[in-house]
Amino acid sequence: MSHKKPNAATLAVHAGGALPPMRSQPLDPPIYRNTTYRVESRQAVLDYNAGHPADLFFYGRYENPTVRALEQKLALLENAEAGLCFGSGMAAVSTTVFALLAGASGAGVDLARPLLCSSAIYGGAYRLFRDQLRALGLPVVFLPPEQIVEGAWPVHPCAVYVESPINPTLRLLDLRKVAARAHEVSALAVVDGTFAPPPLQHPLALGIDLVIHSGTKYLGGHSDLLAGAVLGSRELLARVEQWRKLLGGVLDPGAASELARSLKTLPVRLERQCQTAFELARRLERDRRVKAVLYPGLESHPDHALARRDLRAFGGMVTVELPGGLPAAARLYDGVRLFARAASLGSVESLISLPVDSSHVGYDDAELARAGVSPGMARLSVGLEDVEDLWEDLDQALPG
Ligand SMILES: Cc1ncc(COP(=O)(O)O)c(C=O)c1O
């Protein structure tokens, strides 16, 4: 290269712009928006290829310092060795399931060892497993959650996939039993814990191998970002990471920074959401316009004892069933003024949805019955508003 001063086009691309030397640290990691990294020499590339030294970053789809900082924070919150973040909850689910089905040995899918999956899981995951994975010839077997916990398993699975608490019934699975039974047949146990994020529930401490979260829900908490996360051991996550690199579902660094900010208020938000949800559940249970209230904190909930054992608080979701079936649920839905009629959950704003129209749309009657969903159900995601304002809203909208 000549020593003459580069011209403007070259300077514009290359000159300056490096981080200045700093004796102080920013409180939070900056957003590293770059997709690629300047290495010192070929040796660095060879080092990278030989085994990814932790301080060597190479390409944005593979690793990013902002995303990694978030993963460490999430791992601390979930008491996990490691974490991986994704662009959505479904990216976390699909990438993890591909890695599990592919097996540890690299020998490929063992058709005799399917994914054993609870039939009561998030509708998107259910459809992915039932339709897309099977269309690829990948082995998936569904069983009702009670049978996964207590009943006979007709297959020898490579992994067991459950959700707890379950949407929208808020039933809980005994995760200790799920993990123990999976391990007895040398399968891995995976739970989608989106409905009870840390510090409400710690599935890894109950023996579960991998916990998945839709970060779009409570972790993000403000209805303004999509994200997903998987937490577990370093060894298992190294397998999932191989798939994330190639499927390409890594979280965007801007969203990672926003999610890290949201996590700062997660325990405080949850505390308030759980308190308000419990109070609304108690009032709804006493109300003669309501047929049933599903909330794990109520003694009437079938899994109340398990909730007391495994949950630190009972969550921010409340499902009500109205005696007038779908027409009554629809009147509640259309009648609320403060609850937003909106999909999703876990946000600072209170939201209402009708499971038969949203999370369980397209299920036939048998599938609805298996999922414990009735047409008269309305699901409330309780936000941070004042409890009296929320109660007033429900009170004026409840039909009957
Ligand atoms: C329990 C559960 N898991 C996973 C997902 C998927 O998350 P995302 O919408 O972030 O892809 C959802 C979304 O509603 C969910 O409710």
Last residue of a domain, one of 217, 235, 263: 263
Whether residues 300 and 359 share a domain: the answer is yes
In whole angstroms, give the CA distance from residue 315 to residue 41. Answer: 52
Q: Which atom of ligand 1 is nearest to the CA of 217?
A: 10
Whether residues 109 and 170 share a domain: the answer is yes
Closest by Cα among 49, 71, 67, 66 to 58: 49
Whether residues 210 and 304 share a domain: the answer is no
> Mean pLDDT, to the nearest integer, of 349-354?
98
Q: How confident is the model at residue 132 (pLDDT cuts 50, 70, 90)?
A: very high
Q: How confident is the model at residue 369 (pLDDT cuts 50, 70, 90)?
A: confident
Residue 1 reports pLDDT greater than 70: no
Percent of the chain with pLDDT over 90: 90
- Residue 6 is assigned to a structural domain of this protein: no
Give the residue, by CA position, lying nearest to ligand 1 atom 9: 89
Residue 341 reports pLDDT greater than 60: yes
State the distance from the centre of ligand 1 to the C-alpha of 137, rounded, in angstroms.
Answer: 24
Q: How many CB atoms lie within 10 A of CB 254?
A: 13
Report pLDDT digits (tens) over 65-112: 999 999 999 999 999 999 999 999 999 999 999 999 998 776 789 998
User: CATH number, domain at 386?
Assistant: 3.90.1150.10
**58 lies in which domain range?**
42-263
Give the chain's domain count.
2
Mean pLDDT of the chain: 96
CB-based contact 233:81 (threshold 8 Å): yes
Give me the pLDDT at residue 24, please.
96
Whether residues 99 and 217 share a domain: the answer is yes
Residue 117 reports pLDDT greater than 90: yes
Out of 44-48, 103-107, 116-120, 362-366, which region has the weakest mean confidence (pLDDT)?
A: 103-107
Ligand 1 shell residues, CB under 6 Å: 88-90, 122, 124, 163, 167, 192, 194, 214, 216, 226, 228
Whether residues 163 and 275 share a domain: the answer is no
Give me the pLDDT at residue 190, please.
98
Whether residues 230 and 99 share a domain: the answer is yes
Give me the pLDDT at residue 52, please.
77
Out of 118-127, 187-196, 330-339, which region has the weakest mean confidence (pLDDT)?
A: 118-127
Of 85, 194, 211, 259, the residue with max ligand 1 atoms within 8 A of its CB, to mutate for a pocket test, comes to 194
* Catalytic center residues: 61, 122, 192, 217
Q: Which atom of ligand 1 is nearest to the CA of 194?
A: 1
Give me the pLDDT at residue 142, please.
96
Give the residue, by CA position, lying nearest to ligand 1 atom 8: 89
Last residue of a domain, one of 263, 282, 316: 263
> Mean pLDDT, to the nearest integer, of 15-41?
93
Report pLDDT digits (tens) over 245-304: 999 999 999 999 999 999 999 999 999 999 999 999 999 999 999 999 999 999 999 999
Whether residues 50 and 171 share a domain: the answer is yes
State the distance from the centre of ligand 1 to the C-alpha of 196, rounded, in angstroms.
Answer: 13
Give me the pLDDT at residue 107, please.
73
Give me the pLDDT at residue 53, please.
87
Last residue of a domain, one of 228, 263, 298: 263
Q: Which atom of ligand 1 is nearest to the CA of 344?
A: 14
Whether residues 119 and 251 share a domain: the answer is yes
Whether residues 56 and 113 share a domain: the answer is yes
Residue 2 reports pLDDT greater than 60: no
Give the residue, by CA position, lying nearest to ligand 1 atom 7: 89
- Residue 192 is assigned to a structural domain of this protein: yes
Global confidence as pTM: 0.96
